[in-house]
């Protein structure tokens, strides 16, 4: 039980605790199963008191991984290559002494050790697809295969959606309570359209599995379960191509910036080195994402740099070259340490780049849920924002055009979704009202006949569903009023 | 009151109507195209609230409500337990107060 409570605490506490807690135990263990997560939780338990003095600024839970990573990277600048092989082995002895000497070590050595650990954890993660920073919330390959197969059993086309009712029937089989399932849905349906895409479905399934294994549900969708992250982290050629060709509603905005990034990359690559490229792309990412995300949620400036940089790995992972792009992604990640040495600006951008797998949180779902917290983080990340726009000055015009079209598309698609839902609701209400009408029918036959004819006539015409329902309901309301009058008459 | 709702519905007005001004509080109503009604009671002492602010609050409510409706595990008529919805309402109330 203790581990579970710590799990809850883990997700509810501030970033510093998170950053350190999460990274160290996970790095010291090479695991992939849920059972071992309990051990990690226990490790966190013992280490939590020691980790607090670390110098990561507090921020909301969704950001907890990003912030420590940025610190790790700034320190990485000073001491990277030499440390690379040794500290990873040294991590294990480091972990235990930190755990045992709860108050013994001073903040500085702790900080140094943890920063080293962080920096290598970052590299390890990028190179190792199954890294362990968010252990219970990271989907392994086998799990992914399983989820994808389950998805296919419900919906043969992996690039399409599973409707809400189908998913509801399926997830109800998990025997979790309805409120919990409702909450899991709320977490995983990132775009709130009442349907699950493949990444959303995997996130939902993963949350259900975690819950069944005893893990408390998180406050917000963990970064590794974000749809964008899942797409980037598990690019399968067939899946990718289909997704990219036919993906419409769920990721139009993300696609646009990704296209942008790719274009920017190809153009810049021809002329400059990769270091320059990544810097520019980061800047572009920032600009592009800034507008597309701002369109959805105008408030959050702080998360933009991280979000935009978060686009870096996804572009390489997307068509037209899914496989080589993935290796690009990895090589890019390795180059990033070198980049960070290049300039101070790179230091700002690369940490946020490193945050890539984790920086997806600033995208919509988390923002919607954590707006008040976002305001707090806005204050803490002004520097990164300042760094971004400066580098993006030159290439600003290009993203703006595509930004607007993606904005419009997104707006249209959200409108479509909302209308669909309104239609569904109207249909439901309609049927309810019709049922209600049937009961007092006896008293008001003449009136009901008169009213029914126009109703039926209208149902045959080609009105939109909404208007129909509206008019029918209006008439039904009038009918009801008349009914009431008649009833009163009868009573008297 | 009923007549006020009726006129809201009949005219297909989706906007707010001041339904029932009492001495101590103002009541605002908002009806959606799916006949879902939102009612807001505001203390009269809060004179800073203008019409368009109320309208935007109702719009936010409506948007969050449609998001709640998208959840297949939510059946209309249930008490809303969505965290996103609660957060939105809380933030709105904090803004006003």
> What ipTM does this complex have?
0.79
pTM of the full predicted structure? 0.38
The helix (H) or strand (E) run that includes residue A403 is: helix A397-438
Nearest to A389 by CA among A279, A315, A312: A279
* High-pLDDT (> 70) share of chain A, %: 27
| Beta bridge mates, B28 | B18, B40
- Give the pLDDT band of residue B91 (cuts 50, 70, 90): very high
| Mean pLDDT value of segment A76-85 | 43
Q: Using CB atoms within 10 A of its CB, is residue A116 exposed (0-12), middle (13-18) or buried (19+)?
A: buried
- Residue A401 has what pLDDT? 67
**Selection from A223-227, A298-302, A353-357 with the highest mean pLDDT:** A223-227
* Residue linked to tokens 């990873």: A88
Among partner residues B33, B70, B73, which is closest to A466 by beta-carbon distance?
B33
The encoded tokens of residue A153 equal 């059993």
Residue A281 above 80 pLDDT? no
The pLDDT assigned to B48 comes to: 65
Mutation target vs B (from A172, A189, A421; most B CBs, 10 A cutoff) = A421
- A436 touching B, CB under 8 A? no
Q: What is the pLDDT of residues A454-477, one digit of tens each?
A: 555 544 554 455 555 555 555 656
Segment B28-46 mean pLDDT: 81
Is residue A429 pLDDT above 60, yes or no?
yes
Q: Sign of dihedral through CA atoms A183, A184, A188, A194?
A: negative
Distance to chain B for A227, nearest Cα, Å: 17
Q: Is the pLDDT of residue A432 over 50?
A: yes
The residue ranking higher by pLDDT, A333 or B27, is: B27
Q: How far apart are CA A127 and CA A85, in angstroms?
A: 14
Bridge-partner residues for B26, per DSSP? Answer: B42
Q: What is the pLDDT of residue A86?
A: 43
pLDDT at B39: 84
Per-residue pLDDT tens digits for A333-380: 444 444 444 444 444 444 444 443 333 333 333 333 333 344 444 444
Cβ atoms within 10 Å of A459's Cβ, excluding its own: 11
Compute the distance between CA of residue B55 and CA of residue A238 in angstroms, rounded to an integer: 47
How large is the C-alpha radius of gyration of chain A?
A: 27
Q: How far is CA A206 from CA A140, A188, A221, in A?
A: 10, 10, 11
pLDDT at position A154 is 86
A317-376 residues touching B, CB cutoff 8 A: 368-369, 371-372
Query: Which residues in chain B are contacts of A168 at CB distance < 8 A?
Result: 72-73
Measure B2 CA to nearest chain A CA, in Å: 10
Q: What is the mean pLDDT of residues A139-156?
A: 87
Model confidence at A480, pLDDT cuts 50, 70, 90, reads: low
Would you give the DSSP letter of residue B25? Answer: E
- d(C-alpha A412, C-alpha A444), whole Å: 44
Q: Is some CB atom of chain A closer than 8 A to the CB atom of B91?
A: yes
Question: How far is CA A358 from its chain centroid?
Answer: 9
pLDDT value at position A425? 87
Second CATH level (architecture) for the domain B2-96: 2-Layer Sandwich (3.30)
Confirm or reject contact between A259 and chain B (CB < 8 A).
no
Instruction: Please state, in angstroms and as integers, the Cα–Cα distance from residue A413 to each residue in A252, A322, A482, following that order.
Output: 9, 27, 41
User: What value does the mean pLDDT of chain A take?
Assistant: 56
The single residue listed with the structure tokens 């980061």 is A282
Residue A141's CB is within 10 A of a number of other CB atoms, namely 11
A-B Cβ pairs (cutoff 8 Å, strict): 74
How far apart are alpha carbons A38 and A214 in whole angstroms?
Answer: 10
Strands A195-196 and B16-18: unpaired
B contacts of A193 (beta carbons < 8 Å): 70
Q: Which of A168, A418, A429 sits opposite B72 (nearest CB)?
A: A168
Q: Is the pLDDT of residue A164 over 50?
A: yes
In this complex, do B83 and A189 lie within 8 Å of one another by their Cβ atoms?
no
Q: What is the per-residue pLDDT for A406?
A: 82
Our CA-based measurement puts residue A163 at a distance from the nearest CA of chain B, in whole angstroms, of: 9
- Residue with the bigger pLDDT between A161 and A306: it is A161
Contact B34 A194 (CB under 8 A): no
pLDDT of residue A190: 78
Can you read off the two tokens belonging to residue A160? Answer: 């399409």
Residues of chain B in contact with residue A369, where contact means CB-CB under 8 angstroms, are 83-84, 87
Residue A141 has pLDDT above 50, yes or no: yes
Best mutation target, A172, A192, A365, A372, to test chain B (most B CBs within 10 A): A192
Q: With pLDDT > 90 as the criterion, what percentage of chain B qualifies?
A: 5
- Shortest CA distance from B64: residue in chain A: A192
| Better-scored residue on pLDDT, A266 or B40 | B40
Q: What six digits make up the tokens of A143?
A: 């799990």
How many secondary structure helices (H) and strands (E) does chain A include? 25, 2
For A155, phi then psi, to 5°, come to -150, 105
8 Å CB contact of B34 and A425: yes
Domain boundaries, chain B: 2-96
Q: What percent of chain B has pLDDT over 70?
A: 73
CA dihedral A44, A49, A53, A54 (to 10 degrees): -10
Minimum distance, in Å, between the CA of residue B12 and any CA atom of chain A = 9
Among B70, B81, B87, B92, the strongest candidate for a mutation testing the A interface, having the largest count of A CBs within 10 A, is B70
Q: What is the pLDDT of residue A487?
A: 65
Rounded Cα distance, A355 and A361, in Å? 10
Residue A211 and residue A94: Cα distance in Å, rounded?
32
Which backbone phi and psi does B30 adopt, to 5 degrees? -145, 130
pLDDT of residue A486: 65
């Amino acid at each position: 039980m203790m581990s579970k409570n710590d799990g809850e605490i883990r997700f509810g506490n501030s970033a510093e605790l998170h950053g350190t807690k999460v990274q160290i135990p996970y790095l010291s263990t090479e695991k992939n199963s849920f059972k071992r997560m309990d051990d990690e939780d226990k490790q966190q338990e013992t280490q939590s008191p020691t980790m607090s003095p670390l110098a990561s600024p507090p921020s909301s839970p969704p950001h907890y991984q990003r912030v420590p990573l940025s610190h790790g990277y700034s320190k990485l600048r000073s001491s990277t290559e030499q440390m690379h092989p040794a500290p990873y082995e040294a991590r294990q002895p480091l972990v235990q002494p930190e755990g045992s000497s709860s108050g013994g070590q001073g903040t500085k050595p702790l900080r140094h050790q943890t920063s080293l650990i962080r920096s290598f954890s970052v590299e390890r993660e990028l190179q190792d697809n199954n890294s362990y920073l968010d252990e219970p919330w990271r989907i392994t390959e086998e799990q992914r295969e399983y989820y994808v197969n389950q998805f296919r059993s419900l919906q043969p086309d992996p690039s399409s959606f599973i409707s809400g009712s189908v998913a509801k029937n399926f997830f109800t089989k998990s025997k979790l309570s309805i409120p919990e399932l409702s909450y899991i849905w709320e977490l995983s349906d990132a775009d709130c359209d009442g349907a699950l895409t493949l990444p959303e479905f995997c996130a939902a399934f993963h949350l259900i599995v975690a819950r069944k294994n005893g893990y408390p549900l998180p406050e917000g969708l963990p970064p590794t379960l974000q749809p964008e992250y899942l797409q980037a982290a598990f690019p399968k050629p067939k899946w990718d191509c289909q997704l990219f060709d036919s993906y419409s509603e769920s990721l139009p905005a993300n696609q646009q910036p990704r296209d942008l990034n790719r274009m920017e990359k190809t153009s810049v690559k021809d002329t400059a080195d990769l270091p320059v490229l990544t810097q520019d792309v980061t800047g572009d990412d920032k600009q592009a994402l800034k507008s597309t995300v701002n369109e959805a949620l105008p408030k959050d400036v702080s998360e933009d740099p991280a979000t935009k940089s978060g686009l870096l790995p996804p572009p390489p992972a997307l068509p037209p070259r899914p496989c080589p792009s993935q290796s690009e992604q990895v090589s890019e990640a390795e180059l990033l340490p070198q980049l960070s040495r290049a300039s101070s600006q790179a230091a700002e951008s690369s940490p946020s780049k490193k945050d890539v797998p984790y920086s997806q949180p600033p995208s919509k779902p988390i923002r919607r849920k954590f707006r008040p917290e976002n305001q707090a983080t806005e204050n803490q990340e002004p520097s990164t924002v300042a760094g971004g726009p400066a580098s993006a000055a030159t290439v600003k015009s290009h993203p703006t055009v595509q930004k607007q079209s993606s904005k419009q598309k997104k707006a249209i698609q959200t409108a479509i979704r909302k209308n669909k839902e309104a239609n569904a609701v109207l249909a439901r209400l309609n049927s309810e009202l019709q049922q209600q009408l049937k009961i007092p029918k006896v008293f008001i036959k003449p009136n009901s006949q008169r009213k029914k004819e126009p109703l039926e006539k209208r149902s045959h015409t080609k009105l939109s569903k909404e208007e129909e329902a509206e008019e029918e309901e209006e008439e039904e309301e009038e009918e009801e009023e008349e009914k009431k009058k008649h009833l009163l008459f009868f009573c008297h | 009151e009923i007549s006020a709702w009726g006129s809201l519905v009949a005219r297909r007005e989706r906007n707010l109507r001041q339904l029932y001004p009492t001495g101590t509080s103002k009541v605002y109503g908002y009806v959606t195209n799916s006949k879902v009604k939102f009612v807001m009671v505001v203390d009269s002492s809060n004179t800073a609230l203008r019409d368009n602010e109320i309208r935007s609050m109702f719009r936010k409510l409506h948007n969050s409500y449609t998001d709640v409706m998208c959840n297949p595990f939510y059946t209309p008529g249930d008490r809303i337990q969505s965290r996103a919805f609660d957060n939105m309402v809380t933030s709105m109330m904090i803004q006003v107060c």
